[in-house]
Amino acid sequence: MENIHRKWMLVEYKDFTKEELVKLEANIDLTKNSESADRYTAKMGCNGMFFTAEFNKGKAKFSEVGSTMMYCDGRMKLEQLFGKEFPDLKQYKVEGHFLTLFNENGGRMKFVAADWD
């Protein structure tokens, strides 16, 4: 079984450059939490974000996406797009140290494992 339950750094999404994503420290943390098994966190440049997720044989379900409510000048575009589009991602694929999430319209987000050198 692939190791999906780890921290993932966003490296490809829409027209954002990899450098922009690195600067924003964009990531999702799918590390298992003993207090809330299907609850995870993310950061896309400003606010702390949270969501629930289920993974089963290439299918993904994301829901209850929320965040804290700070405003960070020049750092909100990625966060707003992520919050809007993340729940529409319905499939996942782990290949080596990469995680790719897909929606039905060809949209995708690609991540690299944070603990990979």
Measured distance between the N- and C-terminal CA atoms of the chain, rounded to whole angstroms = 21
State the SS3 of 22-72. Answer: HHCCCEEECCCCCCCCCEEEEECCCCEEEEEEEEECCEEEEEEEEECCCCC
Q: Name the DSSP letter for residue 86.
A: G
Count CA atoms within 13 Å of residue 54 on its CB side.
5
**Residue 22's pLDDT band (cuts 50, 70, 90):** very high
The pLDDT score that the predictor gives to residue 103 is 95
d(CA 48, CA 27) in angstroms, rounded, equals 10
CA 102 to chain centre: 11
Percent of the chain with pLDDT over 70: 97
**pTM strictly above 0.85:** yes
d(CA 100, CA 89) in angstroms, rounded, equals 10
pLDDT digits (tens, 9 = 90+) for 64-92: 999 999 999 988 999 999 999 999 999 99
Q: Name the DSSP letter for residue 19.
A: H
